[in-house]
Structures are given as C-alpha cells and as structure tokens.
Chains A and B, each alone.
Chain A
Amino acid sequence: EVQLVESGGGLVQPGGSLRLSCTGSGFTFSSYEMSWVRQAPGKGLEWISYISYSGIIISYADSVKGRFTISRDNAKNSLFLHMNSLTVEDTAVYYCAGDVSGDPTSWGQGTLVTVSS
C-alpha cells in the first residue's frame, strides 16, 4: 500500500523559515513524480511545487517562486520543501502527493503550517 507521511509543520513567525518532509513507503519512491499542494483554511487546493522522479525537472507556482525550494532524496524515500520568508498567506495544510503513469495520485495526510506573530 502506498503511504506518504508529512512532517515538519508548526507555528512560525512572519519572515521565518520551515522545512517540511514527506516520507514514502509501500512503493518505488524513485519512480514517482512528487508535488506539494496546500490548502489555506476554508479554501480550495493550491498546487505549489513539482519535482520529477530524478529531481532534474522542478517547477513552482508564482506564489512561492523564489521563497520555497523543493528537493528529494530517493535513497531515503523522502521529499522536502524548504520554505523561507514566510507570510501569513502561507498558513495552510501542506500535502505531499505522488504520481506515476497508470496509477492514481497518492496523497499524504497533511501537515499544518501556521504563520503568525
């Protein structure tokens, strides 16, 4: 069974930084394209970043470009999101999600990031 588990969320002050992690199990992590998706309180889903299975291709939503960095360590079945210069608008539940051709998207349970003074 495919499992994705996020960690690293918490309370951070505006302007601060945080690193989220997502660990996969039950599947060949290195074959999956991975993304981060967030959901602000009471709002819809917002895609924020993508990384190819090899880590070579990376993209970001305009809302986080230049502030967030996605990376992965296939040897450790792990995905990361480094978040800098956080603002209150970044307050959300952050989900990691994995894709491989021919299979449905797999989602983690989410980790809450609260940016507040």
Chain B
Amino acid sequence: NFMLTQPHSVSESPGKTVTISCTRISGNIASNYVQWHQQRPGSAPTTVIYEDNQRPSGVPDRFSGSVDSSSNSASLTISGLKTEDEAVYFCQSYDSSHNWVFGGGTKLTVL
C-alpha cells in the first residue's frame, strides 16, 4: 500500500495565500484521484476538493486543487485567506482495492 504525507501545521495571515502539500509515498500520485477534506473543530469533515481539482458547489473559488507528477504530490491552495478557513485539512486518495488512504492532516492557522 502507500502513504500520504502532509505538513503537521501551516499558518498565514488573512488575505494571503497558503498551499498545503500532500506527498504520496510509493506509487504514482496520478494513479488515483485525490480529495481534500476540511474539518473545523467539533464538526464533521466536508469535502472542499474532489477528483484532484473539482470544487463542490458552495465552496468558494478561493479553494483550488492540483496534482504534480514530478513531485508526486497534490496541493490544496487557498487564496484570500479568511479566519473561517481555520481548520484541519486532510488529503485522501484510493488504492486499487477501493480502500481509502488519508494523510495525517494539516492544521491551518489564520492569524
């Protein structure tokens, strides 16, 4: 199987842009779609990016996703940061047996 590695935490100021990385250890990042899930304190996760770069309706276009085969990683970029973006962000992909694989999560602080 494979692993997804994320930074434990990132912080940035309101109005700025932040990028959270998700590196696949073993196998090709482009082999399976990557999703990004946001979890605010005390709440269930919600999906902010699916199928690598698709944004659900209701998710602001400040959120974008990408995949880079050269670094074997996926990225979540949030521009025009707002305090409401403070949350833990989990990347997630699939293996060949429909099993989900999660990254460890990145805590985003907007200060």
Q: Is B35 an interface residue (CB 8 A)?
A: yes
List chain A positions with a Cβ less than 8 A from chain B.
33, 35, 37, 44-47, 50, 52, 57, 59, 61, 95, 102-110
- Contact check: which of A33, A44, A52, A107 meets B46 at CB < 8 Å? A107
Q: Complex formed: what's the CA distance from A45 to B101 in Å?
A: 9
Extra contacts besides A44-B90, A107-B37 (7): CB < 8 Å? A37-B100, A45-B37, A47-B99, A50-B98, A105-B35, A108-B44, A109-B44
Residues of B within 8 A of A61 (CB): 99
Q: Complex formed: what's the CA distance from A107 to B94 in Å?
A: 17
- B interface bracket (residues with beta carbon within 8 Å of A): 20 to 34
Q: Complex formed: what's the CA distance from A79 to B78 in Å?
A: 34
Closest chain-B Cβ to A104's Cβ sits at a distance in Å of 4
Interface of A is mostly: loop
Q: Tell me if A107 and B44 are in contact (CB < 8 A).
A: yes
Q: Tell me if A47 and B100 are in contact (CB < 8 A).
A: yes
* Interchain Cβ contacts under 8 Å between A and B, 19 examples: A35-B100, A37-B100, A37-B102, A44-B88, A44-B103, A44-B105, A45-B45, A45-B105, A46-B102, A50-B98, A52-B98, A59-B98, A102-B51, A103-B50, A104-B35, A104-B54, A105-B47, A107-B47, A108-B44
